[in-house]
C-alpha cells in the first residue's frame, strides 16, 4: 500500500480481465466502459511482473496486519495513540515503513526531474 499504491487495492482477477493504467492504477475506460484485456495482452503479473505478485500468490497484508495499519492511520490522523506497548511497537515499525516509502517517492520524483535534463 505504501510502496505501490497503484496496485494495492486492485482486484487481481479483475486485472486479468481488464486493462489498467499502470501509472495511475485506474481501469482504462473507453466511452464510459472498462476496456477488456485481449488474450494477446497478458496481465502485468504474467509478463513484466506485478509488485502485488500473482492472483495465486498475492503479496498483501493479512487481515490482522491490515487492521493494525488502519489503527495506526487513525491514531496518526488525530495525533493520539493509546498508551500501550504493542501499539507503540507496531507504530514504530509502520512509521519507519511510511518514512521509507516517502523517501522513495521523493527520490523517484527527483530522478524524474533530473533525468529530463
Beta carbons within 8 Å of 56's beta carbon, 6+ residues apart:
none
pLDDT at 116: 61
Look at residue 45 and tell me whether its pLDDT is greater than 80: yes
Q: How many residues does the chain have?
A: 117
**23 and 6 Cβ atoms separated by less than 8 Å:** yes
Answer yes or no: are the C-beta atoms of 28 and 22 closer than 8 Å.
no
pLDDT digits (tens, 9 = 90+) for 4-35: 888 888 999 999 999 999 888 899 999 999 99
Q: Tell me whether strands 57-58 and 33-34 are parallel, antiparallel or unpaired.
A: unpaired
Residue 31, CA distances (Å) to 24, 28, 35, 47, 82 in order? 19, 10, 9, 28, 49
- Radius of gyration of the chain from its Cα atoms, rounded to whole angstroms: 18
* CA–CA gap between residue 69 and residue 75 (Å, rounded): 10
Domain boundaries defined on the chain: 1-60, 61-117
Give tens-digit pLDDT for 49-85.
899 999 999 988 899 999 999 999 999 999 999 999 9
Amino acid at each position: 500500500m505504501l510502496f505501490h499504491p497503484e496496485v494495492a487495492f486492485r482486484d487481481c482477477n479483475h486485472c486479468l480481465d481488464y486493462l489498467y493504467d499502470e501509472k495511475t492504477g485506474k481501469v482504462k475506460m473507453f466511452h464510459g466502459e472498462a476496456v477488456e484485456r485481449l488474450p494477446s495482452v497478458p496481465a502485468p503479473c504474467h509478463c513484466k511482473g506485478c509488485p502485488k505478485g500473482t492472483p495465486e500468490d498475492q503479496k498483501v497484508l493479512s487481515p490482522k496486519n491490515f487492521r493494525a495499519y488502519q489503527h495506526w492511520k487513525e491514531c496518526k490522523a488525530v495525533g493520539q495513540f493509546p498508551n500501550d506497548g504493542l501499539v507503540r511497537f507496531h507504530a514504530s515499525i509502520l512509521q519507519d515503513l511510511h518514512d521509507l516509502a516517502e523517501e522513495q517517492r521523493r527520490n523517484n520524483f527527483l530522478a524524474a526531474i533530473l533525468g529530463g535534463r
